[in-house]
């Protein structure tokens, strides 16, 4: 029984390490403050590939149609730094919290980047 329990715990530990993203983000959350209604706000999330292998961004998608996301299509070399950029179109007055969902070639898990603020007149 003890050997079985140890095997299960080891398997869980290996799975947890395997799902960790090799990308280190400078920030995963940005506060845009006040954004004037009807304007577009540029956003950038910088990251570094901390792994020993190239990493591809396979998907980067905003949580709604108000966010247009751009991401590197080429491989991010080990040790290289790159950015996910977005443009937030402010169309409704009020407080907002949005996200960008990121999928890489090196992890099955998604990474979420958040930005928030308040759209004002």
Q: Which of 48, 33, 47 is nearest to 88 (CA)?
A: 33
pTM listed for this prediction = 0.82
**Contact in structure between 21 and 57 (CB atoms under 8 Å):** no
Mean pLDDT of 1-6: 52
Distance CA 87, CA 115 (A): 11
Give the tokens for residue 76: 């991010």
Distance CA 28, CA 99 (A): 10
Percentage of residues in the chain having pLDDT higher than 90: 83
3-state class (DSSP) for residue 1: coil
pLDDT (tens digit per residue) in 24-60: 999 999 999 999 999 999 999 999 999 999 999 999 9
Distance CA 18, CA 104 (A): 13
Q: Does domain 22-120 have CATH number 3.30.565.10?
A: no
- CA 48 vs. chain centroid, Å, equals 12
Enumerate the domain spans of the chain: 22-120
């Amino acid at each position: 029984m003890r050997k079985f329990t140890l095997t299960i715990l080891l398997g869980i530990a290996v799975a947890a390490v395997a799902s960790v993203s090799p990308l280190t983000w400078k920030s995963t959350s940005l506060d845009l403050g006040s954004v004037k209604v009807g304007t577009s706000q540029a956003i950038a999330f910088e990251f570094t590939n901390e792994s020993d292998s190239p990493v591809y961004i396979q998907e980067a998608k905003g949580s709604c149609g108000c966010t247009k996301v751009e991401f590197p299509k080429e491989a991010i070399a080990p040790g290289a730094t790159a950015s996910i950029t977005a443009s937030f179109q402010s169309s409704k007055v009020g407080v907002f919290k949005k996200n960008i969902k990121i999928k890489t070639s090196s992890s099955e898990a998604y990474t979420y980047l958040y930005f928030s603020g308040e759209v004002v007149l």
